[in-house]
Structure 1
Amino acid sequence: MTNNNSAGLLAGKVVLITGASRGIGEAAARLFAEEGASVVLAARGTDALDAVVGEIRAGGGTADAISVDLGDRDSVRAAVARVEELHGRLDGAFNNGATIQQPGPIDQTSDEDVDRQFEVNFRGHWTAMTAEAALMRRSGGGAIVNTSSIGSRRANPVLPAYGAMKRALNSITESAAVTWAPEGIRVNGITPGGTATAMIDAWEAATPGIVEQLAKSVPMGRMAEPREVAEVAAWLLSDRASMVTGAIVPVDGGAGA
């Protein structure tokens, strides 16, 4: 890995990535560093981030690991404050962290699952976005990308609480885009379909056969690799997407078409 890319897509930018310990977030950490960003990787525990940070630094890049619990508003705000301590500014944020619910129909979804989905997948992003925007506007703007889900675009009978909170995330993504556009802060979302991550592995364990079912539902005939999703986020965070805000971009191989 070579990270000292002064001509990369994200060259010179400071980017925060939540949910960076695995899956799409881990892929984004490596990709954004390759594209020249100074990355701050956040997850509930930093142990899983240390290897990624070490690899990026060994390649000449700049990376740090910080702890964040998206279900705890104070923890989210402290994480953004730590970015300011490290770099003095924030140019981009990839709000990718999430939690999955226990699969099952709406009338079998527990109150505890609904509450956890709200705390992490909706309120956690709300808190992160407002804190990130406050830091970004001090240096003239920035870009935010939120990871939603293909399940936010249609009925989601197997993951109803998850789908509901992701649909709500789409709404606040669009609202924030309109609200903060005059301040030079762009806000977009991505809606991945089936992606080969540990979250999908957990779903397969709970619902055997779901991976095969998901792959068959994709016109391209396969699930996405995490890096393929991260590539879209990288572009949206870059100056090449300077006129794109309020977009919810599908990254699903045509499954939502």
Structure 2
Amino acid sequence: MSGLLEGKAGVVIGASSGIGRAAAELFADEGAKLAIVARRQERLNELAEQIARSGGTAVPIAADITRSEDHARIVEETTSIFGRLDFAFNNAGTIGNFVPMLEQSEEDWTHTIDTNLKAIWMSVRAQATQMKKNGGGAIVNTSSWLAVGALPGSTSYSASKAGMDGLLRAAALELAPFDIRINNINPGGIDTDMTRQAFQDDETVFAAFGKAHPIGRLGTPRETAELAAFLLSSRAANITGQAILIDGGYSIPGQR
């Protein structure tokens, strides 16, 4: 049986760790040819070599997602190598400094919004321009349960992710005539370095956060990548413009 993404060419942005790395590994297993993108070249090289040893194809591209010219270059290089761009998974982002609003600087706010929201807009714009030439494609962005919820210190992060979900709906309407689907995945607590950073590596508080999820634990990067793979595949052909929570029930009102 062929994989979900068999024969497709795509890009994973934010591939060097966490959900992005799990997605790159899974997408390659599902038959995709990949451009893997992040800031750290050495991590990308190691991941590309790992995927190659498993029989997959992954080309590393180091880039800064806050620069529009880098988004154009990512699409150009991916298309030059593989001949087309069928899908994109935009997973890169920042937790920001995650402090109370009264302690946050304007520079902190701007950094989080630029990295999590403006960069998504630039990614989607560049990717969809190429997909339109292809005759269609699929895009998935990583948002967050914090787009609809909050924690102390999450003002800039929550605002950036809520903005992503707002952008999504308009983009879905604009891109549908070109046979381009776009969806967001909104993880809850996922056991990644970024999540631990949000809790300042306090293992006691981190463990309590996991237990507060109705399923009794944090999610895994692989589980999150599985949802992204499905949404990027033809099996999700009738799904667009949706921000889909994958949070073990954590965001259900009143459950805590």
Tell me whether the two structures share a fold, i.e. TM-score over 0.5: yes
2:165 match: 170
- 2:192 aligned with 1:184, yes or no? no
In structure 1, the residue corresponding to 2:200 is in which secondary structure?
Answer: helix
Instruction: Name the aligned partner's letter for residue 9 of structure 1.
Output: L
In the TM superposition, residue 154 of structure 1 has moved relative to its aligned partner by: 2.0
- 2:25 aligned with 1:30, yes or no? yes
What does the per-residue CA deviation read over 1:108-138, in whole Å, with 9 as the maximum and x for residues that have no partner? 1111111111211011000000000011111
C-alpha separation in 2, matches of 1:114 and 1:164:
10
C-alpha separation in 2, matches of 1:244 and 1:211:
34
Task: Give 2:225's match in structure 1, choosing from 227, 230, 233.
Answer: 230
C-alpha separation in 2, matches of 1:70 and 1:147:
14
8 Å CA contact retained: 1:17, 1:25: yes
C-alpha separation in 1, matches of 2:205 and 2:244:
24
In the TM superposition, residue 207 of structure 1 has moved relative to its aligned partner by: 5.6
Q: Which stretch shifts more, 199-208 or 101-110?
A: 199-208
Task: Give 2:99's match in structure 1, choosing from 98, 104, 107.
Answer: 104
RMSD: 1.3
1:3 match: none
1:7 match: 2
Instruction: Name the aligned partner's letter for residue 224 of structure 2.
Output: V
Q: Percent identity?
A: 39
In the TM superposition, residue 212 of structure 1 has moved relative to its aligned partner by: 2.1
C-alpha separation in 2, matches of 1:210 and 1:224:
16
C-alpha separation in 2, matches of 1:31 and 1:233:
10
C-alpha separation in 2, matches of 1:209 and 1:113:
27
In the TM superposition, residue 208 of structure 1 has moved relative to its aligned partner by: 6.0
C-alpha separation in 2, matches of 1:244 and 1:101:
31
In structure 2, the residue corresponding to 1:177 is in which secondary structure?
Answer: helix
1:150 match: 145
Instruction: Name the aligned partner's letter for residue 254 of structure 1.
Output: G
In the TM superposition, residue 213 of structure 1 has moved relative to its aligned partner by: 3.1
Q: Which stretch shifts more, 228-237 or 47-56?
A: 47-56
Instruction: Name the aligned partner's letter for residue 4 of structure 2.
Output: L
2:109 match: 114
C-alpha separation in 1, matches of 2:241 and 2:89:
15
Segments of structure 2 that go 5 or more residues without pairing to the other structure are none
C-alpha separation in 1, matches of 2:111 and 2:9:
30
8 Å CA contact retained: 1:103, 1:206: no
Segments of structure 1 that go 5 or more residues without pairing to the other structure are 1-5
In the TM superposition, residue 48 of structure 1 has moved relative to its aligned partner by: 0.5
C-alpha separation in 2, matches of 1:108 and 1:240:
46
Instruction: Name the aligned partner's letter for residue 31 of structure 2.
Output: G
2:154 match: 159
In structure 2, the residue corresponding to 1:205 is in which secondary structure?
Answer: coil
What does the per-residue CA deviation read over 1:75-94, in whole Å, with 9 as the maximum and x for residues that have no partner? 12211211111112110100
Q: TM-score with structure 1 length normalisation?
A: 0.94
C-alpha separation in 2, matches of 1:108 and 1:56:
43
C-alpha separation in 2, matches of 1:42 and 1:32:
14
8 Å CA contact retained: 2:186, 2:247: yes
Instruction: Name the aligned partner's letter for residue 34 of structure 2.
Output: V
Task: Give 1:78's match in structure 2, choosing from 73, 80, 92.
Answer: 73
